[in-house]
Amino acid sequence: MAREIIDERLVGALHLRALTRKGLAHDPVEEKTVYQASTLSALMEGRFEGDLTLRELLAKGDLGLGTVSGLGGELVVLDGEAWLIDGDGQVLRPPLTTTTPFAVVTPFRCDASLPVDEPLDLGTLARRIDDFLGDPTAIVAVRLRGRFRELVVRSVRAQQPPYPPLLEVTAHQTEWELPEASGTVVGFRFPDTMASLDVPGYHLHFLGEKADCGGHVLALTAVEGLVELHLEDTLHVELPAEVGLGEPGVADRAGIRRAEGKET
């Protein structure tokens, strides 16, 4: 049975983010939560079997990302629907009984937005958002509908037990370059102090407008569109029975960067 916990250390850190709310359209009484199934460290170790169904996941949030049991592709949650980009780049509607070993979702509401009015590569886009928010400790959910070019996405092929470590799987990931694409980028920015729990920095997945392409974003240039941002109060981490929380901030950072395709 999974058990739900709220870690005091994280909650303490996250409440600092109230400082970033100034000037943003925000209802202070509305409770906001990022909900996460398991941890990135557990996924890195090859714990690819989940016990949370997509139906349960979608009850916790309508925007997010993750994967499915066996690591059978990249999951995108958008407008309350789950999509899976498999290792061949096919976009599927997975049954809601499918389980996930790692996913992050939130009930998305736009607190602040930034127009994309000139082409921005991924690094520049990230810095624009960082500068706009001004607080590197905040958890931020991102939704960017728009037009893109030089989009590089990846997915992974389903694994059979005994599962290898994540790095072995991503060493054989499939990558595609989409010269032009319209669609939505969804994801999160997590602070570096949470590196054992989640991908520090930006973790973004893409779904094409006609749900005809997508994947885990390795590179892109946003040509036009609107970046919508949702700031969070709380992280709920639901841990499978055999997974520990670990020490927030203590993680194999170099390994995470390799697994998630980050250059720096």
Binding positions for Zn ion, rule: CB under 5 A = 216
Contact 37, 57 (CB under 8 A): yes
Of the pair 133, 218, the CB lying nearest Zn ion is at: 218
Task: State the nearest-atom distance from the C-beta of 97 to Zn ion, in Å.
Answer: 22
Of the pair 154, 230, the CB lying nearest Zn ion is at: 154
Task: State the nearest-atom distance from the C-beta of 205 to Zn ion, in Å.
Answer: 6
148 phi and psi angles, rounded to 5 deg: -130, 160
Contacts of 244 (CB under 8 A, 6+ apart): none
Bridge-based pairing of strands 174-190 and 201-208 is antiparallel
Of the pair 40, 114, the CB lying nearest Zn ion is at: 40
Contact 219, 99 (CB under 8 A): no
Task: State the nearest-atom distance from the C-beta of 212 to Zn ion, in Å.
Answer: 19
Task: State the nearest-atom distance from the C-beta of 4 to Zn ion, in Å.
Answer: 23
Angle at 41 between CA 36 and CA 47, to 5 degrees: 85
The structure tokens listed for 179 are: 């010269």
Q: Which residue is nearest to Zn ion (CB)?
A: 216
Task: State the nearest-atom distance from the C-beta of 43 to Zn ion, in Å.
Answer: 10
> Distance from first CA to last CA of the chain, Å, rounded?
37
223 phi and psi angles, rounded to 5 deg: -90, -45
